[in-house]
């Protein structure tokens, strides 16, 4: 009895140790260097997941000998997981990574340079929007292929505009007009606000302001990314515009949670929102319209907007698998597949030629009213945020600056100067 129990216990231990050992190196053994099996980490859910699955199945069917397997990873955590996987010597072949991470991604060993790949005939690199190409390129080196593109525009409640006897904004409108409309749409008695702004101080706070800064003709950093450039008349103009609405007119609902604003807009409590196409499906209860961003007359900025594209990035798991991954990505981002994906998900097309296809806008608008304005607005994306590894830290400084002005804790001028000093410190490497 005693020896039997002992033997059983030892067997148990061996089984567990073996299982742990296998789990630790399991996926490393599966696709060998010469295999044409590749693994993709992506974070698609819902309609996007279905469309992506369809495309992968189609690729597997039409490309004999190649197996593409995809693994769901929450997009927010992909970079930290990829970093761990690379450190463990077992990265995925392709990963979906946020564009804002690109400078940090470029520093990871094993990230495949795609500069020559995207110049191949048939790829038509310039067909990708300039905002996307900028974000896929770090110091002249292409490290990714665009996976998603969006931009900011103004979504407004047509019913509230009519009630306030306001004409809907035209494409030539100005920020002065936006402020005046916001003021007229505000009614404290029924807790209705002209507009809203997200104030957690995160990058979501920051990029909304950056669009205004660019529209006012300003820049975040100087051309070689060595000094802050936003402490300028354009910086002042952009912050004063926001301050007038938040502090003087009280026409701006401040949302520290980054989530309440969408519900409020959908409940008819907010007149205008500066937001992206991803929010449109959250507004089924209101009759909304979409207009491009207003401009600051007398500046060079025009109706510029900002875009937050994401990238597909390839990791080196041997020459064969890199080649397989490249071939798959070029197929996935070719016009036919881009069109299929957009039409089935409502995501903006990552290629200009797809946007120009006859009937495309109408088909997109059918599923998601007015999304075509966001598509046209891609032409107003003229620049990208600084492609430097310290951008997340700079973003934090800018977030604090914008929030302190909106909460009336500091005046635009001193806030800009203080933030510029901190950003210069970060850029000098002592932040």
Partner 1 sequence: MTAAAALGRRTPGRAESAGRRPRRAESVTGWAFVTPAAVIIGAFGAAPIVWSLVISFTNENELSSTSTRFTGLRNYRAMIHDPIVTQAIEHTLVYTALFVPGVMLVGLFLAVAMNRKLRFMWVYRTAAYATMAISTISEALVFIWLFDPSYGIVNYFFSLIGIPQQQFLNSPSEALYVIVTMTIWGWSGFAVVIYLAALQGIPQDLIEAAAIDGAGRWTTFRRITLPLLSPASLFLAVWLTINALQLFDEVYLSTMGGPLNATTVLVYYLWEQAFQFFKYGYASAIAYMLFIVILVVTAIQFRAGRRFTYYRS
Binding site for partner 1 (CB under 8 A): 2-3, 5-6, 9-10, 12-13, 16-17, 20, 24, 77, 79-80, 83-84, 86-87, 104, 107-110, 191, 193, 199-202, 253-254, 256-260, 264, 269, 389, 392-393, 396, 399-400, 403-404, 407, 409
Rounded to the nearest angstrom, the gap between the alpha carbon of residue 70 and the centroid of all alpha carbons in its chain is 21
Q: CB of residue 91 vs partner 1: minimum separation in angstroms?
A: 9
Q: How far apart are CA 73 and CA 50, in angstroms?
A: 15
Of the two residues 13 and 428, which places its CB atom closer to partner 1 in the complex?
Answer: 13
**Residue 85 to residues 105, 112, 324, 365, 401: CA-CA distances in angstroms?**
13, 15, 20, 41, 36
Structure tokens given for 176:
């002065």
Of the two residues 9 and 428, which places its CB atom closer to partner 1 in the complex?
Answer: 9
∠ Cα 111 115 119 (to 5°): 140
Q: CB of residue 121 vs partner 1: minimum separation in angstroms?
A: 34
Of the two residues 21 and 298, which places its CB atom closer to partner 1 in the complex?
Answer: 21
Of the two residues 76 and 224, which places its CB atom closer to partner 1 in the complex?
Answer: 76
**Around 37, how many Cα atoms within 13 Å sit in the side-chain half-sphere?**
9
Strand partners, 98: 310
Residue 53 sits at φ, ψ, to 5 deg, of -60, -40
Strand partners, 291: 154
Residue 198 sits at φ, ψ, to 5 deg, of -85, 125
Q: How far apart are CA 155 and CA 167, in angstroms?
A: 14
Of the two residues 283 and 315, which places its CB atom closer to partner 1 in the complex?
Answer: 315
∠ Cα 332 333 338 (to 5°): 95
Q: CB of residue 302 vs partner 1: minimum separation in angstroms?
A: 32
Of the two residues 62 and 76, which places its CB atom closer to partner 1 in the complex?
Answer: 76
Q: CB of residue 162 vs partner 1: minimum separation in angstroms?
A: 23
**Residue 370 to residues 150, 162, 305, 363: CA-CA distances in angstroms?**
14, 18, 17, 11
Q: CB of residue 287 vs partner 1: minimum separation in angstroms?
A: 22
Of the two residues 85 and 355, which places its CB atom closer to partner 1 in the complex?
Answer: 85
Q: CB of residue 415 vs partner 1: minimum separation in angstroms?
A: 11
Q: CB of residue 5 vs partner 1: minimum separation in angstroms?
A: 6
């Amino acid at each position: 009895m005693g020896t039997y129990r002992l033997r059983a216990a030892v067997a148990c231990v061996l089984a567990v140790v073996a299982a742990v050992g296998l789990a630790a190196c399991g996926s490393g053994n599966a696709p060998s260097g010469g295999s044409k099996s590749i693994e993709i980490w992506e974070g698609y859910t819902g309609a996007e997941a279905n469309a992506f699955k369809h495309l992968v199945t189609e690729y597997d069917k039409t490309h004999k000998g190649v197996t593409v397997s995809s693994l769901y990873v929450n997009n927010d955590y992909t970079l930290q997981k990829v970093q761990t996987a690379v450190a463990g010597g077992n990265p995925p072949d392709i990963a979906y990574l946020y564009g804002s991470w690109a400078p940090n991604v470029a520093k990871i060993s094993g990230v495949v340079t795609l500069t020559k790949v995207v110049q191949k005939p048939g790829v038509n690199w310039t067909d990708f929007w300039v905002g996307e190409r900028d974000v896929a390129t770090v110091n002249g080196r292409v490290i990714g292929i665009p996976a998603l593109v969006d931009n900011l525009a103004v979504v407004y409640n047509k019913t509230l505009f009519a009630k306030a006897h306001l004409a809907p904004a035209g494409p030539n409108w100005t920020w002065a007009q936006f402020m005046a409309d916001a003021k007229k749409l505000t009614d404290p008695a029924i807790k209705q606000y002209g507009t809203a702004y997200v104030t957690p101080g995160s990058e979501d706070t920051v990029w909304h302001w950056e669009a205004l800064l660019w529209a006012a003709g300003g820049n975040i950093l100087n051309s070689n990314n060595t000094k802050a450039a936003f402490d300028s008349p354009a910086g002042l103009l952009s912050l004063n515009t926001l301050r007038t609405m938040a502090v003087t007119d009280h026409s701006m609902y401040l949302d520290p949670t980054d989530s309440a604003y969408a519900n409020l807009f959908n409940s008819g409590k907010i007149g205008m929102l500066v937001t992206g196409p991803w929010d449109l499906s959250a507004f089924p209860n209101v009759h909304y319209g979409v207009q491009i961003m207003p401009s600051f007359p007398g500046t060079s900025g025009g109706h510029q907007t900002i875009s937050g594209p994401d990238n597909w990035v390839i990791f080196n798991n041997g020459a064969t698998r890199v080649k397989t991954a490249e071939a798959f990505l070029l197929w996935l981002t070719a016009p036919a597949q881009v069109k299929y994906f957009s039409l089935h998900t409502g995501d903006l097309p990552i290629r200009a030629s797809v946007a120009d296809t006859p009937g495309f806008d109408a088909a997109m608008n059918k599923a998601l009213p007015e999304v075509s304005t966001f598509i046209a607005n891609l032409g107003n994306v003229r620049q990208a945020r600084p492609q430097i590894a310290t951008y997340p830290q700079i973003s934090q400084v800018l977030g604090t600056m914008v929030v302190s002005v909106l909460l009336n804790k500091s005046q635009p001028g001193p806030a800009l100067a203080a933030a510029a000093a901190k950003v210069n410190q970060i850029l000098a490497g002592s932040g």
